[in-house]
Structure 1
Amino acid sequence: MIDAVKRVDALLQNWRRRVVKRELSHVAINDLGLQLDLAQLDVLAAIEAPVHEFGETGGEETMVSTVAARIGIDPSRASRLIAELVDDGYAERVASQADSRRTLIRLTEKGRAVTGAVRAYRFLLMGDFLAEWSAEDLARFLPLLERFSHWSEDVEARRGKMMPQIGELARHVAKAGAAEVVVETTAAV
């Protein structure tokens, strides 16, 4: 088990570093000749909010605060980015049908063209990679990846269960002079 945990952790750390660099998004922006930066591209995706990406069931009105929450940025930053996208014709502000006091954000045809092209770009490259896999490999992989993608959702429960070991780790680090012991070693955290 420990070897599997080490291998998974190493793979995730390497994957995280590549994702943080946003290699594929940089290449997509370049190859598609887009006049956008990564933050603007993220906002366009958050406005569009494809179900598989954000996990919503649809029908939610998209406001500045919605975009900020979807991509985890400050609402003032989301507002500035949206203003840029509106000025450049990728998005537009419209009144809510449910409450005319609310201003909604939606993509223009230009914005939809960009999000569609970027998504198709990713699908082309990933599809080419996955085409090398057998149907059996895909049938095994997808449910396992879906299952694994939820591993960190119950971190608090796992953390509570592992508090004695976590406390020991904290004491070890503190003893080496690298930190103070601040972790309570009871499961009632």
Structure 2
Amino acid sequence: MTRESDIHALLKNTGARSDVIDTVMRVDAVMQNWRRRMNKRELGHKAIAALGLSIDMAQLDTLLAIAALENEFGEAGEQENTVGMVADRLHIDPSRASRLVSEMVGLGYVLRNASQADSRRTVLELTDMGWALVHAVLSYKWLLLSDHFSTWRTEELEKFVPLLEKFSDWVSDSHESETRHATEIEALAHSVQFPGSGRKVG
């Protein structure tokens, strides 16, 4: 069985510094724990329960996608909202997005209107109820986050966000890493070709 020491040796052989290797392993452990907690949507469920909301997480995500806050979606938040945009923002298929939007329209949280740019196109807007719900959920989340970060020193806060934003770009840069380590990746692929696996490499 592969041990962490074996992976450490592999990275060492590629020229990675010891501090980089230690960081990779620690960050990966944090990310795996974070992923498991994010998959459970702990904070979202806590917000729904604490605020006494009668919607589920998928419906809440739909409202947040329509709200399209600039700090989350950037320039996308200035565009007209359509079902297609909701699907893109939530990474779901358009038919599911359409069903979710219809549910929120039926509950009174979303309105369908004709686009000002093209009257043939339907755009989505939050009602006052929808905005109130989004405001309450975000306020709940930010209250908890601000309470946590209030224990951090100013210099820690000033360093953390830029570094986190820089780190968040690593997935989009992964193609170059795959190219640089094509030989090692090919060897790893061969190492898991067991009899009957049905997958061929090379």
Per the normalisation by structure 2, the TM-score is 0.86
The aligned amino acid for 1:132 is T
Instruction: Check the 8 A contact 2:70/2:77 in 1, yes or no.
Output: yes
Kindly, what percent of the aligned residue pairs are identical?
A: 51
Asked if residue 105 in structure 1 is aligned to residue 124 in structure 2, the reply is yes
Q: Report deviation, 1:157.
A: 1.7
Q: Which residue of 1 aligns with 2:187?
A: 168
Distance change >3 Å, CA 92–CA 170, structure 1 → 2 = same
Q: Which residue of 2 aligns with 1:4?
A: 23
* Match among 137, 141, 158 for residue 122 of structure 1: 141
Per the normalisation by structure 1, the TM-score is 0.92
The aligned amino acid for 2:158 is A
Q: Secondary structure at the match of 2:31?
A: helix
Distance change >3 Å, CA 5–CA 90, structure 1 → 2 = same
Distance 1:175 1:165 in 2: 18
Q: Cα RMSD (Å) of the superposition?
A: 1.5
Gaps spanning 5+ residues in structure 2: where? 1-19
Q: How does 1:1-189 map to 2 (within 5 A)?
A: 1-175=20-194, 180-182=199-201, 184=202
Distance 2:60 2:76 in 1: 22
Distance change >3 Å, CA 55–CA 179, structure 1 → 2 = farther
Moved over 4 A (4+): 175-179
Q: Secondary structure at the match of 1:164?
A: helix
Instruction: Check the 8 A contact 1:170/1:181 in 2, yes or no.
Output: no
Q: Report deviation, 1:175.
A: 4.7
Q: Report deviation, 1:179.
A: 6.7
Aligned residues: 183
Deviations 1:123-164 (A, max 9, x none): 000000000001011111111111111111122221112111
